[in-house]
Amino acid sequence: MALRKKQDKTNENKTQVLIVDDHPVVRDGLTTIINHEQDLNVCGEADDAHQALKAATELKPDVVVVDISLKNSDGIELTKSIKAGHPKLPVIVLSVHDESLYAERALLAGAKAYLMKDTVSENIVKAIRMVLSGEIYVSDTISKKFLHKIASDKAGTTKTPIESLSDREFEIFRLIGDGLKASQIARQLHLSTKTIETYRSRIKEKLNLPNASELLQYSIKWAKSQDRE
């Protein structure tokens, strides 16, 4: 549920920040850090994509901080939706997932920053200030990776099978790895089971996997490898 913060004259001229995360503890922590800055103010919160889009329109924030894993959606798709409705509104994506896989997807979706959650307390304010000044914020590791990719890209760098998945395919692949069945994924993403099965077929083809059982094993193995990082 989106929460409107009480506005007073002391907050009117501050930079307004909308936080989107389905964990109350995370929202509270971010609010404390951001509101500690004299020129920043958390104007509202949302715990899912629907409320986030509603809050973006009603609260008119200057920047949105979005968790990549949300109820019934993910931060990549939400970022696309925010940018479609509010092209000039900068989005910062937070994640616990491997930045080498998600950062580029987030930036291509329209995000202006990507932060790992284990560094957010030290870097969220810096990221907010950078995106508001028109810059992009990523870790030094990802920045170097992007530069290396550009420098070595001649006829086009060959993508790994995982990287070849579209954002929606990657999201469904991740959910399969979390142990969700097609019907459960369909309910979570508000899609039909038939649509999910179509995506599963595309994923199997791109990953060169012969059947659903192989896809399940591959996705679970991948998910476990991410948890260890």
The domain limits of the chain are: 3-148, 167-227
d(CA 83, CA 85): 5
* CATH superfamily, with its number, for domain 3-148: Response regulator (3.40.50.2300)
Of residues 207 and 161, more confidence is placed in 207
Q: pLDDT tens digit string along 18-59? A: 999 988 999 999 999 999 999 999 999 999 889 999 999 999
- Select from 186, 203, 206, 205 the least CA-distant residue to 194: 186
Q: Is the dihedral of CA 201, 177, 50, 57 positive or negative?
A: negative
d(CA 11, CA 220): 47
Q: pLDDT tens digit string along 182-220? A: 998 888 888 899 999 999 999 999 999 998 889 999 888
Q: Which class does domain 167-227 fall in?
A: mainly alpha
Of residues 73 and 157, more confidence is placed in 73
Partnered with residue 63 across adjacent β-strands are: 17
Query: Any residues with CB less than 8 A from the CB of 88 and at least 6 apart, and which?
Result: none
d(CA 83, CA 119): 25
Q: pLDDT tens digit string along 53-77? A: 999 999 999 999 999 888 777 889 8
